[in-house]
Structure 1
Amino acid sequence: MWKWETEGQPKAVVVIIHSAFEHHRWYAWLIEKLRQDGNHIVMGDLPGHGEDSKYARIHDKTVNEYIEYVKQLMQIALTYELPVFIIGHGLGGTLAIQYLKKSKAECAGLILSSPWLSLQRHANLLKNALANLGTLTSNMKLSLDFDKKALTNSLEGYQEIDDEIVYKTNVTVSWYKEIQLLMKNLTSQQVSPLSLPILLMTAKHDKITDPDQSRKWLLQQSSINFQYKEWPISYHNLFHDSERDQVYFYVNDFINNSIRSLGYIVE
């Protein structure tokens, strides 16, 4: 994992958690924007992603392994003794929610971009047989139909994610089942809600996740400071899409307002 520090007086630390099948280099634009606005950034690659993915043909890490990684990111961020914010995109948002429900770590605010709370696309192998998952062996390979062209409608954004690291969407049955169970548990009304400030952003033309389920989840939380925004022309990856400048304004304003509410002065 890596740290990018702002050149001036820092106001906050931002932990970024990318989605499944991605890696940290995709977020160079966002990292630089945050740095320019006075934030330190802590980020890395989820287990089995980035350089690690070159040596693995299939994603098979457990949720616990992902959460341990998030814990390590937060431990580094908290050493700065500044307000810490988490930006979680896609599966990264789902993992951020799970981490915050299980951890007592101080977090000044949670920013979610198209979190995985209900997937619109399923593994090709399971199109009409999701109910029969239990009959498949845990190590069987599934190919999830998440094409890069479904992530963004921006040519510039697509060029940023079209790099030398192969985009692999192959997962094991056990990986898929565990992620499905995690999403189901997090959207259950029986799960204790989050009370910290939350900014949740979705895309109207998301071909990966269901924005309606994300909005329903947000309304179940106990936060008295939350915002919801659906971007009208964007696809799933809001930080790589044509509206990303406006998306970033929302992120920066949310961070600044949350810091002010803690008693800090933001210039």
Structure 2
Amino acid sequence: MWKWEAEGQAKAVVVIIHSAFEHHRWYAWLIEKLRVEGHHVVMGDLPGHGEDSKYSRVHDESINKYLVYIKHLMQNAVAYELPVFVIGQGLGGTLAIEFLKKKSIECAGLILTSPWLHLKKNTNLLTNAITSLGTIASSKKISLEFDKKMLTGNMEGYNEINDSIPYHSNVTVRWYKDVQQLTKNITAEQESHLTLPILLMTAKQDKITDPLAAKKWLMNQGTSEMQYKEWTNSHHNLFHDNEREEVFIYKRDFINNVIRSLGYIVN
């Protein structure tokens, strides 16, 4: 886990949770933009990601292990005694939803970008294969066949994620089934809705997740403050794609509005 502190007086703390197969270095641009805006940033690599992924050729981490790590991030964020916001990208957004439903740690607002609430790519093929394999094949390796070109169509953003740490979407059957069950539980539940302010942003060109599933989930939440924005020219990872400057401004305004509603003065 790492912390990047704003220069001078900070007005909030932002916890960033990256998606599956990514790591924190991809978010250098976003971290610096947040610091300039007067936010402390807390982020790390999910278990099995980042440097850890150099020594593992398949992801088999449990959902609970991810959630325990997010709890660690949040505990460090609330220690600043400032409003805390969570940004969850992809699977990180899904994990953020699950964590905030079950934990009592105070959070001022949730920002979701392309959350995994219904996977498009290979969903039917893999689901049918897994059903036929049964439980005895839980350690079998499969590939989701994601690649970096599915994440962004912007060359600058692509160069930022094209680094020395291996990017692979090899997972065990158990990992995939657990993630599928998590998304199913979140989208099917009629109770335990989130009541905090939520900003949900999706990408029209997303080849990984279905924006409509995310929008439907948002409409079923119990919050009185929600915003939804679909970015027409963007791919799955909004913070590395064509409209990221506008995406950041949208996110910045959301945070500032929530901070104002809490009684803080925003310059």
Aligned to 2:115: 115
Q: What is the Cα deviation at residue 122 of structure 1?
A: 2.4
Q: What is the Cα deviation at residue 190 of structure 1?
A: 2.3
Runs of 5+ unmatched residues, structure 1: none
**Which residues of 2 match residues 113-152 of structure 1 at below 5 A?**
113-122=113-122, 126=126, 128-134=128-134, 137-152=137-152
Aligned to 1:164: 164
Aligned to 1:258: 258
Structure 2: which amino acid aligns with 1:61?
Answer: E
**Which residues of 2 match residues 239-254 of structure 1 at below 5 A?**
239-254=239-254
Identical counterparts, % of pairs = 67
Q: Could you give the per-residue CA deviations for residues 78-119 of structure 1, whole angstroms, max 9, x where no partner exists?
A: 000000000000000000000000001100000000000000
Q: What is the Cα deviation at residue 191 of structure 1?
A: 3.6
Aligned to 2:60: 60
**Which residues of 2 match residues 187-202 of structure 1 at below 5 A?**
187-202=187-202
Question: Which has the larger displacement, 108-117 or 125-134?
Answer: 125-134
2:134 counterpart SS class: helix
Q: What is the Cα deviation at residue 134 of structure 1?
A: 2.3
Query: Is this contact kept in 2: 1:14–1:41, CA < 8 A?
Result: yes
Query: Is this contact kept in 2: 1:18–1:90, CA < 8 A?
Result: yes
Aligned to 1:28: 28
Q: What is the Cα deviation at residue 131 of structure 1?
A: 3.7
Query: Is this contact kept in 2: 1:141–1:170, CA < 8 A?
Result: yes
2:88 counterpart SS class: strand
Using the size of structure 1 for normalisation, the TM-score is 0.97
Aligned to 2:99: 99
Q: What is the Cα deviation at residue 168 of structure 1?
A: 1.5
Structure 2: which amino acid aligns with 1:72?
Answer: H
Structure 2: which amino acid aligns with 1:213?
Answer: A
Q: What is the Cα deviation at residue 57 of structure 1?
A: 1.0
Q: What is the Cα deviation at residue 135 of structure 1?
A: 5.4
2:137 counterpart SS class: coil
Using the size of structure 2 for normalisation, the TM-score is 0.97
Query: Is this contact kept in 2: 1:197–1:258, CA < 8 A?
Result: yes
Structure 1: which amino acid aligns with 2:68?
Answer: E
Query: Is this contact kept in 2: 1:141–1:172, CA < 8 A?
Result: yes
Q: Work out the number of aligned pairs and report it.
A: 267
Query: Is this contact kept in 2: 1:16–1:43, CA < 8 A?
Result: yes
Structure 2: which amino acid aligns with 1:222?
Answer: G
2:207 counterpart SS class: coil
1:106 counterpart SS class: coil
Q: Could you give the per-residue CA deviations for residues 116-152 of structure 1, whole angstroms, max 9, x where no partner exists?
A: 0000012797375354352561100011111110100
Query: Is this contact kept in 2: 1:116–1:209, CA < 8 A?
Result: yes
Q: Could you give the per-residue CA deviations for residues 204-227 of structure 1, whole angstroms, max 9, x where no partner exists?
A: 010000000000000000110000
Question: Which has the larger displacement, 9-18 or 114-123?
Answer: 114-123
Measured in 2, the distance between the counterparts of 1:251 and 1:103 equals 24
Query: Is this contact kept in 1: 2:146–2:168, CA < 8 A?
Result: no
Q: What is the Cα deviation at residue 231 of structure 1?
A: 0.1
Runs of 5+ unmatched residues, structure 2: none
2:104 counterpart SS class: coil
Query: Is this contact kept in 2: 1:123–1:142, CA < 8 A?
Result: no
Q: Could you give the per-residue CA deviations for residues 25-71 of structure 1, whole angstroms, max 9, x where no partner exists?
A: 00000000000000000000000000011111110000000000000
Aligned to 1:214: 214
Structure 1: which amino acid aligns with 2:258?
Answer: S
Query: Is this contact kept in 1: 2:117–2:184, CA < 8 A?
Result: yes
